[in-house]
Amino acid sequence: MSVLLTGGLGYIGSHTAVEMLEAGEEVVIIDNLSNSDKKVTNAIKEITGKDFKTYIGDVRDEKLLRKIFKKEGIDAVIHFAGLKAVGESVKKPVEYYDNNIGSTVALLKVMKEYGVKNFVFSSSATVYGKAKKMPIYEDFEIGGVTNPYGRTKYFIEEILKDLYVSDNSYNIALLRYFNPIGAHDSGLIGEDPNGIPNNLMPYITRVATGKLECLSIFGNDYKTKDGTGVRDYIHVVDLAKGHVKAVKKLRGNCGLKVYNLGTGIGYSVLDIVNAFNDVCGGKVKYKFAPRRAGDIDECYANADLAYKELGWKAERDLKDMCRTSYNFEQKHSK
């Protein structure tokens, strides 16, 4: 049986494809290349030495989905495909609802037609909004999101819960990722955003390689140890391995499960910059700038449930996250 990875040429999807193939799974990818490159297919093949099928197309295209399900013997789906830029989602809410929710609904309809009931969803720590205390557990209240992107994640979680209530023979894992950074050790795949990056690590790597001048640290007056924002950064390879475990869990008929995928450690922006400067020899210049609208002081997980139930925990440290991000940027980005 094969696992369908929607958005499998993207940042997290490509690393998951590698880990799935290395775990002996058959993989099929669908991606519309809206935020990725066809060349990633070859990189995944080069890393793993394994072959797999890639369909270039949109997950909202039900006809194409039917063709894939008919042909490929899919027994589980990992749904990465979606738009993910918070700021852009405020400007283009309809595109975000259409793409993120539309693709999920199309998938669920076609999965039903073909009797496929194992589903992993790429959710996000953003569904917790501004949590009242730290660390964040899976049973904390969700829904206090402040932007259309975050709302798509929250709404999709609710859709999947409704589906499970209607038919509890589904097995659904809602994986709430914290802040994925880092890249594959090979430097062949990683995060390569178009234009000026919104997220911290891609901005840092571009300053370190001279493509951008100076990092602006958004706010140094938060209620944190050094005044800068605190997040739970997780190595993308660890995150990818979590998906391999989640698919195994689904196949054991687990019902609907929610897991935080984070390290459980909160690092500040300055921690990240300092760790990165250790790795790259101090090339990251920074200045303090005003807070970014919508940002919260801190956000980090309790990830014990994933360890207890999936046997998964993050193993790579901050130095490794910085080293591999830098390696990828030096080797591959535009």
Residues that bind ligand NAD (CB under 6 A): 6-7, 9-13, 30-36, 58-60, 80-82, 84, 99, 103, 122, 124, 177, 179-180
Residues 5, 40, 86, 120: which binds ligand WQD (CB under 6 A)? 86
Q: Which is nearer to ligand NAD, 43 or 253 (CB)?
A: 43
Residues 60, 79, 206, 231: which binds ligand WQD (CB under 6 A)? 231
The binder of 157, among ligand WQD, ligand NAD, none, by C-beta within 5 to 8 A per type, is: none
- Helix, strand, or coil (residue 261): strand
What is the closest distance, in whole angstroms, from the C-beta atom of residue 39 to ligand WQD in the complex? 24
- Between strands 230-231 and 267-268, the pairing is antiparallel
Only one residue has tokens 């700021």, namely 87
The binder of 269, among ligand WQD, ligand NAD, none, by C-beta within 5 to 8 A per type, is: ligand WQD
Torsion angles phi and psi, residue 17, rounded to 5: -60, -45
Q: Are 15 and 188 in contact (CB under 8 A)?
A: no
Using CA atoms, how far residue 113 sits from 66, 79, 108, 118, 171, in Å, is 9, 17, 9, 13, 16
Using CA atoms, how far residue 273 sits from 11, 218, 279, 280, in Å, is 22, 13, 10, 10
DSSP string, 196-219: S--SHHHHHHHHHTTSSS-EEEE-
Q: Are 17 and 92 in contact (CB under 8 A)?
A: no
Answer yes or no: 128 catalytic.
Answer: no
The whole-angstrom separation of Cα 306 and Cα 299 is: 18
Residues 292, 304, 305, 309: which binds ligand WQD (CB under 6 A)? 292
The binder of 34, among ligand WQD, ligand NAD, none, by C-beta within 5 to 8 A per type, is: ligand NAD
Q: Residues 96, 149, 154, 233: which is the catalytic one?
A: 149
Q: Does 198 bind ligand WQD (CB under 6 A)?
A: yes
Site for ligand WQD in 109-168 (CB under 6 A): 124, 126
Q: Does 200 bind ligand WQD (CB under 6 A)?
A: yes
Q: Which residues are catalytic?
A: 149
Chain residues in the site for ligand WQD (CB under 6 A): 84, 86, 124, 126, 179, 198-200, 203, 215-218, 229, 231, 269, 292, 295
